[in-house]
Amino acid sequence: MNSTRNRPALPLLSLLVLYVCHTIQPAQAQQSQSQATPALSSKPAAPKQPPAAKPLSETEELQQAIDRAGNDRASLVRNLEDFLKDYPESRQRPQIYRAIVEASLQLRDSPRATEYAERIVALTPEDMSMTLLAIQLLERNGDEAALRRALNYSTRVLDFIGNSSAGEKSPKVSKEQWELEQKRDKVNILVLRGRLAFKLHDNAAAEKDFRASMALSPSAAAGEKLGEIAELNKDLPAAIREYARAFALVDTSASATAANRREIRQKLGNVWRLAHGSDQGLGDYILHSYDEVIASLEAPKPKRNADAKEPYDFTLRKVPDGSPYALAEQKGKILVVNFWATWCGPCREMEPHFERVAAQFQGIADVIFLSADCDEDESLVLPYLQEEKPRTTVVFADGLDSLLTVNSFPTVVILDRSGKIAYRAEGFDPGDAETELSNAVRHALASQKEHARNFAHGAKSAL
């Protein structure tokens, strides 16, 4: 857990040795000082008697237990347990228990590690790191009694997180970082507690924790379990929905609990076939779910030109400075717009052809060429432009792509002087893209001139 109450400690055995040495040395020094001061007496010295064996203190016995073990961790565990039999109420129990837990884990003795981890939790319930270790060991054990104890411990950890305040954080950690860590911890513990409840067949409690976790931060682990619960409840549409979300979340999940995309895909395929009889339509459903999940994870963006009803109502932003580019100022002209995105390979190939066509009409004021970027992540655009260095005016699409139903890239649209679509080309064909676009622009200009002549003739007739 991320808490200033549980700071990283020295290795457990080192702590024991330091404590024992600290306790023994003052006593040895005092004994040496008393021996160094001879007693003054006029009587002849009596014959020396061998000193009586002095019983070892608790601290000295602990030191001996450690020394006798050397580097043998199995011996260390036996010696420390023997010591605890003689001194069951030793003040050093927390440190001794920790040493036994550490040695037992290295010896892969999970039952003993679990026993002493729980003893530490009983002595120091505020030790969240040891509580989490106890939960993991109990879950690994797998029997019902162990799972129920683990469930209780997980609730204790959630209460601890909920009762923590920013005033307890380290001054080196910002409030924003602390809040992010608290949220991450809560998400992980909710998934953990939900998993324990699920193993105990309390599906209602498990679903509640998984949904609470998803509300805080969607994860593949929680989504997969929600799919399993829906499948057990014979709710195939819900199972399909949850498995599809989990499948999409595998790459984005920050949960400490890993999810296997292959397994999720198998579960999703199984319930889809149960519901539909075959895999037909599953691919489209997965893609749709993926788009929905990714969109839900992105920070909401302000919708620009929300009230615009026609192209010339739009005010776009120029790249890179964001200055306004009002299409209303171009009304009555031919507008040639190339819609593109930085991730689109054909768009990169299309740009030089688009620029050469623009150069053909450079001196004609009635024709305007624009390159409209449609990236969702606008931070990608400037590095792209610095590399490609386009010569046409670059703007953000800012919703114009939606108005004109641009669904693929590149798409080139020619708007006539009234804002109607005079030409549209989707995709890129290197063989004739340049010639076709050039002819389309000339045709739009000719239509404009013809319209102007007809308008002038009609005006004269009216006079």
Under 8 Å CB-to-CB from 21, ≥6 apart: which residues? 63
Q: Which region holds residue 299: left if phi is over 0, alpha if psi is between -120 and 50, else beta?
A: beta
Q: Round to whole Å and give the CA distance between 272 and 373.
A: 38
Q: Round to whole Å and give the CA distance between 316 and 352.
A: 23
Q: Round to whole Å and give the CA distance between 397 and 373.
A: 5
Amino acid identity, position 197: A
Question: What's the longest Cα–Cα distance across the chain?
Answer: 153
Active site residue 21: no
Residue tagged active-site, from 200, 256, 344, 385 = 344
Residue 270 contacts residue 279 (beta carbons within 8 Å): no
Residue 420 pairs with which residues in a beta bridge?
none
Closest CA to 189 of 246, 137, 128, 140: 128
Residue 217 has what DSSP assignment? S
Active site residue 344: yes
Closest CA to 158 of 195, 132, 134: 132
Q: Round to whole Å and give the CA distance between 116 and 76.
A: 14
Q: Helix 110-123 and helix 128-141: axis angle, to 10°?
A: 140
Residue tagged active-site, from 239, 244, 248, 347 = 347
Q: How many CA atoms lie within 13 A of 12 on its CB side?
A: 20
Residue 213 contacts residue 187 (beta carbons within 8 Å): yes
How far apart, in Å, are the Cα atoms of 100 and each of 8, 66, 200, 268, 379?
A: 18, 12, 30, 44, 53
Q: How many residues in total does the chain contain? A: 463
Residue 349 contacts residue 340 (beta carbons within 8 Å): no
Active-site residue list: 344, 347
